[in-house]
């Protein structure tokens, strides 16, 4: 063999050795990549394929208040996971469970299930017996269930919003990336004792999956605590007169968001947001509408007197005044302050039902206010034959087929407080990222003058008289700037029985009002008398908070 042939063979051997070495190094690097660099990723992928996922973070974005205080996803719940029934066979595990006061007969013994037990302390997994795992879960809803009717609830099995903000912004709030634990299971889908598990947190602060509300957590808490102290059924709404923001909205009875299945098919209407979802007769609060219609038609009306004999007859219809013996002769200001039915029926007859209904529409009745919650109802205004003949009697005192929501009453009083200017009410501020950056602000309609400033000034004066010398004279808020408002007691049928609903809606302070508060008390024999002290307490607490 010549030298040339030997060189060729030698080169081939070297090349082959280099290729083999290169392939060997690639295999080593590949093993290093799989076992070291990508170990956790591949282990997690394997666990996801043959493991059980237990979510520890809700698969939904956060709902914030106006100050970015979380209203959901804020409560950390220390949780033990019992894997299978191993703890029943192992003395160390059983002693640990008994020491924690956990009843063994309440624990699910099905090997295909994990039992979650809430506890009140933090534990270290390294110190726990086999078959027991600890972590903190983030609860979707807080135990205090604050703002529950506005936030709403989800259908947990489908991660789907069923009511409130959860429903309106379901597409925004729904997330795929959450925090989870993956437990390793065998081919029979039983948990493997001592098997692998992985705790995974997936967060993307740039994803706009959170909703910020106009609600003030602190004012909301004031409202709910007072409603619970008073033990009322009904609704309270608080709005900011300067910008139309809803800063509080509460409904009672309340429900527990985390136990929603227990509240279906009940007769107490716990799941209804009574501020927007149910309409009621407004009673004497509708006298604001009648008075406004009269003033817009004939401003000289304020100089006239009326006579109340204790009732009014309209054909065959007899309507009693709230004072059976009658008020006698009184001015329109006195009639408003004392909520005289007779005087306002006379005013309604003079103005006519069509103009009263037109004034009601200008003030937002008969249509949705559209604050950002899909469950809102329109209420009802009489039409057609319902407005003819003696029906003006019931219309003038907010009875008959007139039905409104507390939100619509709030909207009306907002217009009076702003001297005839309608400000777009809203409970939505916008969509934000996890770090609070606004990415899409809720659009508000421009301010619109819907009634004259002069008429609103008169009503403002009369509403102040209601508190000074009228049906709400028991209220005393002079030390915090006074207030103005209107009472209302309305007869209605509830669950087939005659009942009385109580209203009070107004604003404080008297000059340059900051807040409008509407209080609706359902099914209370004292009528407006029950709503007045609630308005007073809420006003005073808000004032104390803002000092």
Q: HSE (CB half, 13 Å, CA atoms) of 129?
A: 18
CATH architecture of the domain formed by 217-260+273-546: 3-Layer(aba) Sandwich (3.40)
Other residues' Cβ atoms within 10 Å of the Cβ of residue 474: 10
Helix, strand, coil share of the chain (percent; to 5): 40, 25, 40
Closest by alpha carbon to 405, among 273, 270, 264? Answer: 273
Per DSSP bridges, beta strands 305-308 and 448-449 are unpaired
Low-confidence ranges of the chain (pLDDT < 50): 111-112, 188-189, 193-196, 205
Strands, sheet with 197-200, edge to edge from the N-terminal-most edge strand = 51-55, 180-184, 197-200
- The answer to whether 528 and 504 are in contact (CB under 8 A) is yes
C-alpha radius of gyration, the chain, whole number: 33
User: At 497, is the secondary structure helix, strand, or coil?
Assistant: strand
Q: Can you give the pTM of this predicted structure? A: 0.86
Q: Are 216 and 66 in contact (CB under 8 A)?
A: yes
Would you list the domain boundaries of the chain? 3-37, 75-139, 217-260+273-546
Give the alpha-carbon dihedral of 19, 25, 27, 29, to 10 degrees: -150
Question: Which is nearest to 486 in space by CA: 455, 511, 518?
Answer: 518
Q: Which residues pair with 83 in a beta bridge?
A: 114
What tens digit of pLDDT does each residue of 262-284 get? 888 777 899 999 999 999 999 99
Element (H, E) at 27: helix 3-32
Cβ atoms of residues 163 and 153 within 8 Å: yes
What is the three-state SS of 300-355? HHHHCEEEECCEEEECCEEEECCCCCCCEEEEHHHHHHCCCHHHHHHHHHHHCHHH
> Which backbone phi and psi does 242 adopt, to 5 degrees?
-75, -35
Backbone angles phi, psi at 428, to 5 degrees: -110, 130
* pLDDT reported for residue 205: 47
CB atoms within 10 A of CB 267: 6
Residue 404 DSSP one-character state? B
What pLDDT shows up at residue 82?
A: 77
Q: Are 415 and 201 in contact (CB under 8 A)?
A: no
The whole-angstrom separation of Cα 351 and Cα 297 is 8
d(CA 250, CA 238): 9
SS3 58: coil
Candidates 342, 461, 338; CA nearest to 396 is: 342
| Chain mean pLDDT for the chain | 86
Q: What is the DSSP string of 443-473?
A: P-PPPEE-S-HHHHHHHHHHHHHHHHHSTTT
DSSP H or E segment with residue 37? none
Please report which residue ranges of 122-177 form alpha helices under DSSP H: 148-151, 164-168, 170-173
Pairing of the two strands 180-184 and 51-55: antiparallel
Residue 150: phi and psi, rounded to 5, are -80, -50
Please give the sequence-ordered ranges of beta strands (E in DSSP) within 37-95, or none if there are none.
Answer: 51-55, 63-64, 75-83
- Count CA atoms within 13 Å of residue 452 on its CB side: 12
Output the six-digit token pair for 457.
């000034």
CA pair distance 474, 494, nearest whole angstrom: 28
Alpha-carbon distance of 534 to 220, in angstroms, equals 14
Residue whose tokens read 């390294």: 126
* DSSP summary character for residue 192: P
What gap in Å lies between CA 336 and CA 330, rounded to an integer? 10
Residue 481 per-residue DSSP state: T
Per-residue confidence (pLDDT) for residue 352, from 0 to 100: 94
């Amino acid at each position: 063999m010549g030298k040339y042939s030997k060189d060729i063979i030698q080169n081939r051997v070297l090349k082959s050795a280099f290729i083999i070495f290169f392939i060997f190094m690639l295999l080593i690097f590949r093993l290093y990549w799989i076992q070291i660099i990508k170990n956790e990723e591949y282990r997690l992928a394997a666990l996801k394929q043959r493991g059980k996922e237990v979510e520890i973070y809700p698969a939904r974005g956060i709902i914030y208040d106006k100050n970015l205080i979380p209203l959901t996803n804020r409560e950390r719940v220390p949780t033990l996971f019992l894997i299978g029934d191993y703890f029943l066979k192992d003395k160390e595990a059983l002693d640990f469970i008994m020491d924690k006061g956990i009843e063994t007969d309440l624990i699910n013994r099905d090997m295909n299930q994990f039992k979650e037990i809430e506890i009140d302390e933090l534990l270290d997994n390294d110190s726990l017996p086999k078959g027991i795992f600890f972590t903190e879960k983030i609860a979707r809803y807080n135990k205090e269930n604050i703002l529950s009717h506005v936030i709403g609830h989800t259908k947990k099995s489908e991660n789907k919003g069923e009511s409130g903000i959860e429903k309106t912004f379901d597409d925004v709030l729904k997330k795929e990336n959450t925090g989870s634990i993956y437990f390793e299971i065998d081919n029979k889908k039983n948990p493997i004792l001592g098997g692998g598990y992985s705790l995974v947190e997936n967060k993307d602060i740039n994803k706009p999956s959170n909703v910020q509300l106009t609600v003030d957590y602190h004012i909301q808490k004031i409202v709910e605590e007072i409603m619970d102290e008073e033990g009322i059924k009904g609704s309270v709404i608080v709005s900011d007169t300067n910008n139309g923001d809803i800063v509080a909205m509460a409904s009672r009875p309340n429900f527990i968001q985390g136990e929603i299945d227990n509240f279906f098919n009940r007769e107490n209407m716990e799941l209804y947001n009574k501020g927007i979802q149910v309409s009621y007769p407004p009673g004497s609060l509708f006298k604001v509408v009648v008075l406004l219609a009269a003033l817009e038609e004939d401003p000289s009306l304020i100089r006239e007197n009326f006579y109340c004999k204790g009732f009014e007859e309209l054909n065959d219809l007899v309507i009693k005044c709230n004072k059976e013996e009658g008020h006698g002769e009184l001015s329109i200001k006195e009639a408003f302050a004392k909520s005289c039915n007779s005087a306002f029926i006379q005013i309604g007859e003079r103005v006519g039902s069509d103009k009263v209904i037109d004034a009601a529409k200008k003030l937002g009745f008969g249509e949705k206010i559209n604050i950002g919650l899909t469950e809102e109802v329109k209420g009802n205004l009489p039409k057609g034959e319902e407005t003819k003949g003696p029906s003006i009697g019931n219309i003038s005192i907010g009875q008959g087929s007139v039905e409104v929501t507390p939100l619509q009453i709030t909207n009306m009083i907002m217009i009076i407080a702003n001297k005839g200017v309608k400000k777009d009410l809203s409970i939505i501020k916008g969509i934000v990222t996890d770090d609070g950056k606004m990415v899409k602000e809720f659009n508000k309609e421009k301010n619109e003058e819907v009634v004259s400033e002069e008429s609103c000034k008169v009503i403002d004066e009369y509403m102040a008289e209601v508190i000074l010398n009228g049906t709400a004279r028991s209220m005393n808020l002079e030390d915090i700037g006074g207030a103005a408002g209107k009472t209302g007691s309305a007869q209605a049928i509830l669950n087939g029985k005659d009942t009385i609903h109580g209203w009070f809606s107004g604003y404080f302070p008297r000059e340059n009002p900051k807040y409008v508060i509407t209080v609706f008390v359902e099914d209370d024999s004292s009528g407006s008398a029950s709503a007045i002290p609630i308005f007073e307490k809420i006003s005073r607490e808000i004032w104390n908070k803002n000092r």
